[in-house]
């Protein structure tokens, strides 16, 4: 299975961001990818105006997703992204969607809000209250998480225990001291925790690191981007997955685990 990682800087204009997503969807389709992973919060953002995500938020049936769903209808590639959706009283939810053949086949309301390193996502964003789903894409079971969820191993483990073989993570990983090291370490750790492939895509640009990458089930990084806009491809091997799980059966050997971890 071939997956594509598409990173780009998100602008304050949703129309521009929709064009960027559409271009990456077309490129991923041309390259024969079964799955494209895009960054977190691709609808609109402005590092100088935190209220932008509130002002520009759209429902799932709004013009941003309608445009991408129309493109998806004629493609074989599935696309994963997140956007801000209005909830109540001027607040929003950070919602991940999986688009496949013109439909939203899975959605996830971000559980862990980024109230860390001087930032406070919960100021405007409501947290979800349900574990993320596992969905079939191509010949793999795919679990999803969003950005800060990467720091919570129980989320990844719950996905693996429910059958995930690949975990994808749209993110907007903010720059800072040691943050690139955290990013790579956590991606590899979640792969080792679960013996899953982990594909994580961060926005790039003045605030975010880019550095999107894929780790294999032994935590080895097999594909990565730098800090600039890019589309990176990786081929995932079922044989590799099965061999690692036979040699390192952490999912079978764990004594204190449940697929309904909360």
DSSP string, the chain: -EEEEEE-PPPS-HHHHHHHHHHHHHHHHHTT-SEEE--SS-S---TT-TTHHHHH---TTSHHHHHHHHHHTT-S-EEEEEEEEE-STT-EEEEEEEEETTEEEEEEE--S----TT--GGGTEEPP-SPPPEEEETTEEEEE--GGGGG-HHHHHHHHHTT-SEEEEEE-PBP-TTHHHHHHHHHHHHHHHHT-EEEEEE-BSSSBB---EEE-TTS-EEEE--SS-EEEEEE--HHHHHHHHHH--HHHH-SS--TT--
Q: Does residue 174 belong to any structural domain of this protein?
A: yes
Catalytic, 21? Answer no
How would residue 255 be classed by pLDDT, with cut points 50, 70 and 90? confident
Catalytic, 40? Answer yes
Q: Does residue 243 belong to any structural domain of this protein?
A: yes
Catalytic, 147? Answer yes
Q: Does residue 259 belong to any structural domain of this protein?
A: no
Q: Which domain holds residue 229?
A: 2-247
Among 29, 56, 110, 157, the one annotated catalytic: 110
The CATH number linked to 124 is 3.60.110.10
Q: Does residue 101 belong to any structural domain of this protein?
A: yes
Q: Does residue 144 belong to any structural domain of this protein?
A: yes
Task: For residue range 160-205, list pLDDT tens digits in order.
Answer: 999 999 999 999 999 999 999 999 999 999 999 999 999 999 999 9
Q: Does residue 74 belong to any structural domain of this protein?
A: yes
Task: Say whether pLDDT at 260 is over 70.
Answer: no
Q: Does residue 255 belong to any structural domain of this protein?
A: no
pTM of the model: 0.96
Is the C-alpha dihedral spanning 210, 216, 218, 220 positive or negative?
negative
Cα–Cα distance for residue pair 160/98, rounded to 1 Å: 18
Q: Does residue 261 belong to any structural domain of this protein?
A: no
Task: For residue range 102-156, list pLDDT tens digits in order.
Answer: 999 999 999 999 999 999 999 999 999 999 999 999 999 999 999 999 999 999 9
Query: How many structural domains is the chain composed of?
Result: 1
First to last CA, the chain: 31
Among 21, 52, 121, 147, the one annotated catalytic: 147
């Amino acid at each position: 299975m071939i997956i594509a990682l598409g990173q780009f800087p998100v602008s304050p204009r949703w129309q521009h961001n929709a064009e960027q997503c559409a271009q990456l969807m077309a490129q991923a389709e041309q390259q024969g990818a079964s799955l494209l992973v895009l960054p977190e919060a691709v609808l609109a953002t402005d590092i100088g105006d935190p209220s932008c995500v509130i002002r520009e938020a759209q429902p799932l049936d709004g013009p941003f997703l309608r445009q991408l769903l129309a493109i998806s209808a004629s493609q074989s590639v599935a696309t994963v992204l997140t956007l801000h959706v209005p909830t109540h009283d001027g607040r929003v939810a950070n919602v991940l969607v999986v688009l496949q053949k013109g439909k939203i086949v899975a959605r996830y309301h971000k559980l862990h809000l980024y109230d860390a390193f001087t930032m406070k996502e919960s100021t405007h964003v409501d947290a979800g209250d349900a574990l993320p789903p596992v969905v079939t894409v191509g010949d793999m079971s795919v679990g999803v998480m969003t950005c800060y969820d990467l720091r919570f191993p129980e989320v990844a483990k719950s996905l693996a225990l429910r059958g995930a073989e690949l975990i994808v993570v749209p993110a907007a990983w903010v720059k800072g001291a040691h943050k690139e090291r955290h990013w790579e370490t956590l991606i590899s750790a979640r792969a080792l925790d679960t013996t899953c492939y982990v594909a994580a895509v961060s926005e790039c640009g003045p605030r975010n690191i880019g550095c999107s990458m894929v780790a294999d089930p032994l935590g080895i990084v097999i594909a990565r981007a730098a800090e600039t806009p890019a589309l990176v491809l990786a081929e995932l091997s079922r044989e590799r997955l099965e061999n690692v799980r036979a040699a390192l059966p952490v999912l079978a050997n764990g004594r204190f685990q449940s697929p309904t971890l909360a």
